[in-house]
């Protein structure tokens, strides 16, 4: 017989919330069941988005990636809430403020596959079209930066991805998805995805997105397919004609992995206040562009112009952690830095 325990979650700004969690379910799943949306992404122990500190209580921790939760952090009491199963009541400390928690009933809808386009050696542009609802409405609503859960047809396997486009009445959805050597959704994209197939889509989810802070410059740092929510947010800025000075720093590991460069250049041409910088970490001998990491480009600009921008980060945990060190060393206040960590599900 499964026992029910109380989870007390305390946020960075001292707010707390309580909800029930059975011993056979993880903390993130229990919160979602009660329409509480704590920060999470892969929900498979691979991305570190749901990392927290367990201050009180006993639990089982199952199936975490050592990249997302190194052994030394686990020994200190850090956990991944998506892999934390309570054995007693728990008190967990969340490393973000209460405004990043949402409370609502998330809907779902069906969407057809429109295109599966390989845009680099390991990235697919996955285009969907929402099917009309009972009222004939096709529109999709979300805040740029949020993500959606896509379920593989004929299975209960879902993965989380952020749209690269903006909300629209036509029901178009564009995802930029990294395809891994191993990974169930990667296998689906590589071998099974076909135009006309119907997927279940749940969302929108998450609280990553633009913050209104007047005319403060906005610097966006993206690693790999972390570019998708960044592009969505900048496209929204273009739609609003936001006058903020804007920079995109985008990086990949090798040249064949580069993608979306033409679209970024087009976006740059259409926004006088936007500057895009792309780089490759390990280029070949014929590469003529910037070499290094997007964090290097961010550091260079912070050192040269002395500005105090709002900074948005989206990419793997290592990139995020390194970027946070850069922002701290340049005196950027923590409440001006917003981020979304992820690892591909195959890394879990």
124-136 mean pLDDT: 93
- How sure is the predictor about 213, in pLDDT bands with cuts at 50, 70 and 90? confident
> Is-contact 248 220, C-beta < 8 A?
yes
Residue 43 sits in which domain range? 4-100
**Cα–Cα dist 92/30, whole Å:** 14
Q: Are residues 333 and 236 in the same domain?
A: yes
67 has a pLDDT exceeding 80: no
- Flag whether the pTM goes above 0.75: yes
Q: Which of 100, 132, 154 corresponds to the end of one domain?
A: 100
> Is-contact 41 341, C-beta < 8 A?
yes
Which segment of 83-92, 213-222, 267-276 scores lowest on mean pLDDT? 213-222
Rounded to the nearest 10°, the torsion over CA 9, 12, 15, 17 is -20
Q: What CATH number does residue 309 fall under?
A: 3.40.50.80
Q: Are residues 56 and 131 in the same domain?
A: no
**Cα–Cα dist 190/201, whole Å:** 19
What integer pLDDT is reported at residue 326 of this predicted model? 93
**341: phi then psi, degrees, rounded to nearest 5:** -90, 145
Q: Which of 82, 100, 118 corresponds to the end of one domain?
A: 100
102 has a pLDDT exceeding 80: no
For residue 87, tell me if it sits in a domain: yes
Output the average pLDDT for the chain.
91
- How sure is the predictor about 120, in pLDDT bands with cuts at 50, 70 and 90? very high
For residue 154, tell me if it sits in a domain: yes
What integer pLDDT is reported at residue 101 of this predicted model? 84
Q: What CATH number does residue 129 fall under?
A: 2.40.30.10
For residue 346, tell me if it sits in a domain: no
What residue has token string 């749940």? 202
């Amino acid at each position: 017989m499964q026992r029910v325990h109380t989870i007390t979650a305390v946020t960075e700004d001292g707010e707390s919330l309580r909800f029930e969690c059975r011993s056979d379910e993880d903390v993130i799943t229990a919160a979602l069941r009660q329409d509480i949306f704590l920060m999470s992404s892969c929900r498979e122990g691979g991305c570190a988005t749901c990392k927290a500190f367990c201050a009180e209580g006993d639990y089982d921790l199952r199936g975490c990636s050592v990249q997302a939760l190194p052994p030394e952090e686990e020994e200190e009491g850090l956990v991944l809430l998506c892999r934390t199963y309570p054995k007693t009541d728990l008190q967990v400390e969340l490393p973000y403020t209460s405004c990043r928690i949402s409370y609502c009933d998330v809907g779902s809808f069906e969407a057809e596959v429109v295109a599966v386009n390989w845009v680099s050696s390991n990235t697919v542009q996955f285009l969907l079209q929402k099917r009309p609802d009972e009222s004939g409405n096709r529109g999709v609503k979300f805040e740029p930066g949020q993500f959606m859960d896509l379920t593989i047809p004929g299975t209960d396997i879902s993965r989380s991805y952020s749209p690269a486009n903006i909300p629209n009445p036509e029901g178009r959805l564009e995802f930029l998805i990294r395809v891994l050597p191993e990974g169930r959704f990667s296998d689906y994209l590589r071998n099974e995805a076909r135009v006309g197939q119907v997927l279940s889509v749940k969302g929108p989810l998450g609280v990553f997105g633009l913050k209104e802070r007047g005319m403060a410059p906005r610097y966006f740092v993206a690693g790999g397919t972390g570019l998708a929510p960044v592009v969505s947010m900048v496209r929204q800025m273009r739609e609003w004609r936001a006058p903020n000075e804007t920079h995109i720093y985008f990086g990949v590991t090798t040249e064949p992995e580069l993608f979306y460069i033409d679209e970024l250049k087009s976006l740059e041409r259409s926004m006088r206040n936007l500057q895009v910088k792309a780089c490759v970490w390990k280029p070949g001998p014929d590469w003529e562009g910037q070499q290094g990491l997007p964090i290097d480009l961010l550091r260079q600009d912070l050192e040269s112009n002395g500005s105090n921008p709002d900074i948005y980060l989206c990419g793997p945990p290592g990139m995020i952690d390194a970027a946070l060190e850069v922002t701290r060393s340049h005196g950027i206040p923590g409440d001006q830095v917003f981020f979304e960590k992820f690892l591909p599900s195959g890394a879990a």
